[in-house]
Structure 1
Amino acid sequence: MRRSFLFLQGPCTPFFARLADRLAGVGHAVHRVNFCAGDAAYWRGRPAHRYAGDVAGLRDYLDDCYRRWDITDQVLFGDRRPVHRPAVAHGEAAGVRTHVFEEGYFRPFWVTLEREGVNGHSLLPRDVDWFREASERVGALAKPVRFRSPFRVRAKHDVAYHVAGILNPLLFPRYRTHAPIAAPVEYAAYVRRFTRLRLIRKREHERVKMLVESGRPYFVLPLQLNSDAQIRDHSRFEHMGEVIEYVLESFARHAPGDALLVIKNHPLDMGLMDYTRIIADCEKRLGLAGRTVYLEDGNLDTLLKHACGLVNVNSTTGMVGLDLGVPTLALSDPIYNLPGMSAQAGIDAFWRAPEPPDGELFECFRRVVMYATQINGGFYCGKGIELAVTNASRVLTADRSPLEHLL
């Protein structure tokens, strides 16, 4: 069936443009709306339509696009961006299938592709019996094609996208980015933090080694990015400072007296929030001196393999912990927050009776999630993009998604 695709905002890379080329090359109609100069720069001269209005007028504009071009499918990256919310909310009622890309639930060789929504809006059932049954129909999965995707490649694309944004006041005067931090502030913060990380990396890895060798029981709290939609839209917390305070207050009241809480920063954190000060203030207020360890760097897998438990909000790190057999507590409701996998009794009980995950159930869950939502490929390096284009185009043009087949 010949389909008509409407491309909205994608990642800051050539991925969407190359995916559109692939779809057009096999006979499908492709349309594009640019919302900012970065979108236009990465569309690279292909035919496109410019939306220069504000978000309030976007639903009517999209309705017109759907009708005028007989749109059957819309493709976007991130379902919580302001320019995407009207499309996600209205697409189904207009008879348009919505395909949402996101970073992979499993990394580094996968990206997420689901219909209608991802993360907290995923259509994956919350039924462990369904996962067990569906996994039998999925069977064994092929191993992914591996590739290298250096951070500098991702950074180069991001800088190019935002440099193009200099033209936004002229071409897209009403555009407002979904990012809470302006790009120049973000880049300056990254330069400062990454310079410091190079100086302390060896020391931080040594601290992890010493902690493991000490034999002292500890729990791990891996931090997420304050700018992540997982925090801003899919949790009750405003930022990770609130998470730290909430977890430490429970830890002080209920954790065994000899246990430590290891708080590890996210590798891509900008360093704009002073976590050292927040932790120190909590230590003093809660009487936790000597019972917390803050790490800017270090091997997370090594930490988790020897941990008594993992506490997180809704990060994909939770699935790393489950895969390693580590008792894992989610403070929000990610797709892996299922009885038998993540701890269900609450944070206060978790410290003294951490529930280990059912390894067999997690294998069923992983097999189904990989089959139903994951695409081998990446958004940033050339090989990753080519893989993602090839594999995603098959899913986009199919009558039913992999998850719909299972359901």
Structure 2
Amino acid sequence: MTAAVRTRSSAELISAEKPVLAHNYHPLPVVVARAEGAFVEDVEGRRYLDMLAGYSALNFGHRHPALIAAAHQQLERLTLTSRAFHNDRLAGFAERLAGLTGLDMVLPMNTGAEAVESGIKVARKWAYDVKGVPADQATIVVAAGNFHGRTTTIVSFSTDEEARAGFGPFTPGFRIVPYNDLTALEAAVDETTAAVLIEPIQGEAGVIIPDDGYLVGVRELTRRANCLFIADEIQSGLGRTGHTLAVEHEMVVPDVVLLGKALGGGIVPVSAVLANRDVLGVLHPGEHGSTFGGNPLAAAVGTAVVELLETGEFQRRATELGAVLRDGLAGLVGHGVVGFRARGLWAGVDVDPALGTGREVSARLMREGILVKDTHGSTIRLAPPLTITEEELVAALGSLAKVLGSGA
């Protein structure tokens, strides 16, 4: 008789001498078992206020009732057909999402990195078929400090050596310029340029917000140069900054919008490339695809996400609570905080390095029941669910003040 194999707890697994999980993440030592709204609970029953929200994947909080209901209903009917057949949820999802963003067509994918990779392929195909760039000569201009994912092609144009080292040879065809520098951008664009790919706000870099007019400048430059403006809204989009899309702060309409994270409601991975027909129409059957992209479960959850955003409630909450967040952080400048950048319910907070690294500050906040994530150096990111209450947000800011004031 085969002996029963005991399944070890998550707590045992993270402390194991020979872990079975690849060590590609360095999480804080908290093992989450349950969650609801803006709170999570660990295996020992301790509650934490989630001030990261899955890097914006949980914009609507954990287990939002409308999203859970949509998932349950669809699980009872149909979950996957592949794109070899039609399913009864996909067209409706695409129509609603296109209407939300004001663009004509939707290419459904799964992860954010897949959306970026797909956007790159679309831009190159458009450059060859429409712009007339000679075969295999299309270039894409990107910004230093970017974070678009960690696939081989994407890390090829990253400036983060931690993401790049040991993964070459790299994919050619990209030009890197400083972020928020229109002069450098214009110098890099030429007749081979298929697209300019940027984040309207650089999240992983520390919530870096460009100067007013930068996005307008990118839009005008790309029009003059007859190349595409691709906005990576995977973290910044879907209500996070107070608008449906972050580009709306400058009333800019890109040629291509990349969405992900919050589009799946924290339930399933859902991403999308959106553009008008003159751009996405360059794709033909067999040139691109995904077995799970646009699956019925994803489409059902994605439709429910769009319905939440159509009310405008979450965009208003991000705007109103964003003012509370900014005011609270402004009060900490000179008291452990040396600077911050915030838009909507999203902030990068630069802690006085004398008080510790971002990782150390995150660990102190964890002990206070607040979950955040560091980025580079002594910077931490705050991106709570848009469902957080003002009282909860103020309490989190109080905890930040406490750990910065005590230094322990």
Tell me if TM exceeds 0.5: no
TM range (shorter): under 0.3
Which is richer in helix? 1
TM-score by length of 2: 0.26
